[in-house]
Structure 1
């Protein structure tokens, strides 16, 4: 990432990233004219570099997680970001995260439009060099417009920079099809002109990103219900297979399983993070100098999905203060649905599929830097066996990675010392809280020398999460659940709030699933779909259990692939678009998969409200309305 942002921005288009102008206008604070700045190769490259800025506010941050992952079949929260998780009255034109999303995406579009406008005027480039560089802007404009049209529908389609057009107080709506026409055109340009390899500049888009994104866009377009939808599905298949069939040429690949570790586990191994061969399009984080758009304030994803380790967990020895592995528990709230935990993932102790283990923390260890003795009041409060009074849960936190030169300080993490089972009860002696996705008999749980909360404790019979009023222990159990662990590798921990690893926006595993779905949508080719999805499934097991992951051709239909996408991509900010493409943003579907969502309105909630700041600033707000809100 530092290679993208290490050049001085000769002329900044914005005085601040969070603009509020109705026409997405921007202020040029420099005394150097754009004609001078952007016709110089260095100035032009700085402009293209700045097109990447928006990525850093939507991945690993709540401003992207809310719109892209919440309000689906996978996650729920009774309080956090309820506009997205529950579709309640706070989903309106004043919703702050949507304002950031709208402004950020349109800001990127304007940067990209400016780069595209000035590309032909840059002096000193050959035609090939110019196209190679401006192709990055075409790609990022496509990415931004894809998010705009999926979130807000047919709104304003910008193809020229505001520095040229000036204020547009009477913007016009474009259709979703018009958005997709431009997105596809931009990505085709990127496929033709981006290099196969950007060299040492990690995070800069290359051909693999363009083909992967083109496949994703073609497939998503099928949701428009156009008469030629099967043709777009076939084009999605062709773009996806271009990558899948030529992996070595594009420098990509899936990680292979071996006898001890699955390929999926290797995918999330921190040692592979900065050179991950599966990542096609990523948010590259500079972990050495923190020369990122918001410096070291990165990788907060894990803290939003964290169970309560500072209140309920603290009574059993956990604490957010001294442990960096799980994350900081001050901003928690997103928790998995029963559908995700017990139906999509197999609720057994030792599944062949390692994706549940790599997606969730279920074991939380004593992180107090000292042993923790269980007191009578805690045993009584949690209805545990009286024999556990006085039991000692061993400290497991210690300073690690002291020899890593890129760490500004030391990293404290639980689960690094005293990981033993001296009492031979089958559980490590430092275990404080255990949240499996399978059910354990109540009598057995009562005797466990730690807090164990399983699905029978987490959920009501109707699938809703327990609350303080629906369950005797609901006050405590509603805050105990498996916590998402993707992007939590110890290797890239900076502190309990900041994680410095790269974040994948699109990876090869998803491209296989895109291709499988496209094979079905284009020609109902079950054989091809099964072939593709079984590659993904078998790499999720160690080699000795790979056969257990093979799915029969007859069982591979669209519904199965939607489930498979959840198992593969949970928490990776893809799910809302998946449900939208499948037509699953409905009351009936949520009743089956996420019954805590009770206020979903099918007449408006499949698109987001247009931010009020935009409506207040234009002269023709009635032509836009509020998208039904």
Structure 2
């Protein structure tokens, strides 16, 4: 990884002439031009290829890519003003949004680097065969396809670049291409990648054949929204089945359940993170020495989903900044009522472990905290809990628990939840029972207004304690083993995984020829591994229940927070005012189908081109 990063720094200078910066056609980058000769050598060429991976690090594990891919859907609300434009589709969703600038810039930077690789691939020397060279070119084709996939789904038909601005100069008056043109190139690139990528790569994080099959299946399915749905569904199904039916051949497999942990739980376990058999495409993070773009500044996603552990939680013994849980003063997003209580089963005894393995809903005290009479009165607790001491659970972790041996919670006083400070189940507990529980409890009845299906407006409930920011926290990207600090988490980041492809296959089977039995088979595989082995039978569904609505709920249970919900709703025809009003009205009230199915074009790009008026803002 260190080698990849060091070479990548030099290679990334190529992007200085990318479309994003829209330099004058008369300008020349002498530093880049002097590298021409080195790019025709194997070492220089592969250094350039390494640079194509660089911009993944500015999408995954950072704030910028979460909001545009997850908010404005049925699954999430925003906290305060964070992500408000994406959630509410209001006046704050504008061309100057910084998140969109990062996505646009990262995608086009990667595309330009990939185009440069493909250009020099015609001249490079040092490979023993065309097949050996093709394996390297296939990485560039894959990463170009991946970046174009992001662009076309987020922004629609924008600029389709197939040449390197480093070589041919920058187009200051770019023209739009159609979304179908984008998909034609994406599919062509991925067909090359599927054919030429190796099954195994020597360096963790490089794309291999399983990644190409996974992305191609997803692309075929997403393409159905543009027409010829049955044909592209057939292609999606065939591609997904090739990977599923030969998964061990391609070095992939689902984790299976046992009597103590579900396969879904094992998927997110820290001990499996760096050698994960389900991950098809990852952002590889070097955890020991910080040899990454931005070094240790990785894995910040978890902190954006945290509840108020410093204010409300602090009164009960939790702490605002914890290496285990994250930094709660950076919270941005919280789950919708629909996600917590209609997608996930709101039950303490459900066989499905995906809520418990996707969300932290028990937060433990850092140090001892006695429940005083004043605290009990404020939170309307029964007098019986006064004097109870919530035990501190923090201690220095062993290296098998936390690689960095940080002092973290959940290391002592864990028996019988003696140190439980904040409890946020997705099921409702009676007011009487909550009053007698010696910890802060916030369940769906505390969070949501049943009359509006939104988070409560505290002003409308003046007699209640305001717990609307005390909710479960997404924990998929926060295994304790790689918690480096209260901000940074150094685990690998899953971008495409095998569980998703099973659900792609199910949706494709339904769309292709209405084969509910085949779709149910794929779904049941995923549902059964979400339970302990002794309860797998409870998870099996009949083919008769399978429809697009069921599959969307299943995708929510399986994939919540994994940067794809907005695309899911676009593909299935559910990114509509009617659907959002039904499921998450905070995102439906201002939704306008005439423009809100694409994002604003970044102002920085429009300011740099000569035909901004012609190019347009996507209606913003």
TM-score where L is the length of structure 1: 0.95
Match of 1:290 in 2: 290
Q: Distance in 2 between matches of 1:8 and 1:221?
A: 32
Match of 2:160 in 1: 157
Match of 1:364 in 2: 363
The Cα of 1:609 is off from its aligned counterpart by 0.8
SS of residue matched to 2:407: strand
The Cα of 1:474 is off from its aligned counterpart by 6.1
Q: Distance in 1 between matches of 2:225 and 2:24?
A: 28
Q: Spell out, residue by residue over 1:350-373, the C-alpha distance to the aligned partner (whole angstroms, 9 max, x if none).
A: 1100101011111111113xx111
SS of residue matched to 2:73: coil
Query: In the TM superposition, what are the counterparts of 1:199-210 in structure 2 within 5 Å?
Result: 199=202, 201-210=203-212
Matched-pair contact (CA < 8 Å) for 1:69–1:571: yes
Match of 1:531 in 2: 521
Q: Distance in 2 between matches of 1:310 and 1:148?
A: 38
Match of 1:448 in 2: 437
Q: Spell out, residue by residue over 1:284-307, the C-alpha distance to the aligned partner (whole angstroms, 9 max, x if none).
A: 000112111111111111100000
The Cα of 1:558 is off from its aligned counterpart by 1.4
Cα 1:119–1:458, aligned 2, differ >3 Å: closer, same or farther? same
Matched-pair contact (CA < 8 Å) for 1:398–1:414: yes
Matched-pair contact (CA < 8 Å) for 1:11–1:30: no
Matched-pair contact (CA < 8 Å) for 1:12–1:29: no
Cα 1:584–1:538, aligned 2, differ >3 Å: closer, same or farther? same
Query: In the TM superposition, what are the counterparts of 1:483-562 in structure 2 within 5 Å?
Result: 483-562=473-552
Q: Spell out, residue by residue over 1:381-418, the C-alpha distance to the aligned partner (whole angstroms, 9 max, x if none).
A: 111112322221110111102478963xx312211101
Q: Distance in 1 between matches of 2:37 and 2:383?
A: 79
For this pair of structures, how many residues does the alignment match? 615
Q: Distance in 2 between matches of 1:613 and 1:30?
A: 24
SS of residue matched to 1:30: helix
The Cα of 1:376 is off from its aligned counterpart by 2.2
The Cα of 1:330 is off from its aligned counterpart by 1.5
Greater shift in the superposed pair: 247-256 or 380-389: 380-389
Match of 1:63 in 2: 64
Q: Distance in 1 between matches of 2:401 and 2:17?
A: 34
SS of residue matched to 2:415: coil
Query: In the TM superposition, what are the counterparts of 1:391-402 in structure 2 within 5 Å?
Result: 391-402=388-399
Match of 1:424 in 2: none
Cα 1:521–1:101, aligned 2, differ >3 Å: closer, same or farther? same
1:595 aligns with 2:614: no
Match of 2:614 in 1: 623
SS of residue matched to 1:110: helix
Matched-pair contact (CA < 8 Å) for 2:21–2:608: yes
Matched-pair contact (CA < 8 Å) for 1:9–1:43: no
Q: CA RMSD in A?
A: 1.9
1:89 aligns with 2:80: no
Aligned with 1:130 (options 105, 110, 133): 133
Query: In the TM superposition, what are the counterparts of 1:298-309 in structure 2 within 5 Å?
Result: 298-309=298-309
Matched-pair contact (CA < 8 Å) for 2:221–2:233: yes
The Cα of 1:4 is off from its aligned counterpart by 2.9
Q: Spell out, residue by residue over 1:563-590, the C-alpha distance to the aligned partner (whole angstroms, 9 max, x if none).
A: 1000000011110100110111111111
Query: In the TM superposition, what are the counterparts of 1:167-246 in structure 2 within 5 Å?
Result: 167-199=170-202, 201-224=203-226, 226=227, 228-246=228-246
Query: In the TM superposition, what are the counterparts of 1:280-429 in structure 2 within 5 Å?
Result: 280-321=280-321, 323-368=322-367, 371-402=368-399, 407=404, 410-421=405-416, 428-429=417-418
Matched-pair contact (CA < 8 Å) for 2:135–2:198: yes
List gaps (5 residues or longer) in structure 1.
422-427
The Cα of 1:31 is off from its aligned counterpart by 6.9
1:271 aligns with 2:260: no
SS of residue matched to 2:595: coil
Aligned with 2:597 (options 606, 611, 622): 606
Query: In the TM superposition, what are the counterparts of 1:473-484 in structure 2 within 5 Å?
Result: 476-484=466-474
Q: Distance in 2 between matches of 1:281 and 1:492?
A: 19
Q: Distance in 2 between matches of 1:456 and 1:27?
A: 62
The Cα of 1:514 is off from its aligned counterpart by 0.4
Q: Spell out, residue by residue over 1:511-549, the C-alpha distance to the aligned partner (whole angstroms, 9 max, x if none).
A: 000011001111111111011111111011111100000
Match of 1:425 in 2: none
Q: Distance in 2 between matches of 1:81 and 1:27?
A: 39
Match of 1:166 in 2: 169
Matched-pair contact (CA < 8 Å) for 2:401–2:480: no
1:145 aligns with 2:135: no
SS of residue matched to 2:225: helix
Cα 1:15–1:513, aligned 2, differ >3 Å: closer, same or farther? closer
Q: Spell out, residue by residue over 1:196-242, the C-alpha distance to the aligned partner (whole angstroms, 9 max, x if none).
A: 1003x000000000000000000000011x2x221111001111111
Q: Spell out, residue by residue over 1:232-277, the C-alpha distance to the aligned partner (whole angstroms, 9 max, x if none).
A: 1100111111110101110110011112211111111110000000
Q: Distance in 1 between matches of 2:15 and 2:610?
A: 24
SS of residue matched to 1:91: coil
Q: Distance in 2 between matches of 1:403 and 1:264?
A: 21
SS of residue matched to 1:13: helix
The Cα of 1:168 is off from its aligned counterpart by 1.1
The Cα of 1:134 is off from its aligned counterpart by 1.0
The Cα of 1:15 is off from its aligned counterpart by 7.2
SS of residue matched to 1:250: coil
Q: Distance in 2 between matches of 1:434 and 1:178?
A: 50
Q: Distance in 2 between matches of 1:400 and 1:583?
A: 48
Matched-pair contact (CA < 8 Å) for 1:93–1:611: yes
Cα 1:29–1:131, aligned 2, differ >3 Å: closer, same or farther? same
Match of 1:583 in 2: 573
List gaps (5 residues or longer) in structure 2.
none
SS of residue matched to 1:249: coil
The Cα of 1:433 is off from its aligned counterpart by 0.9
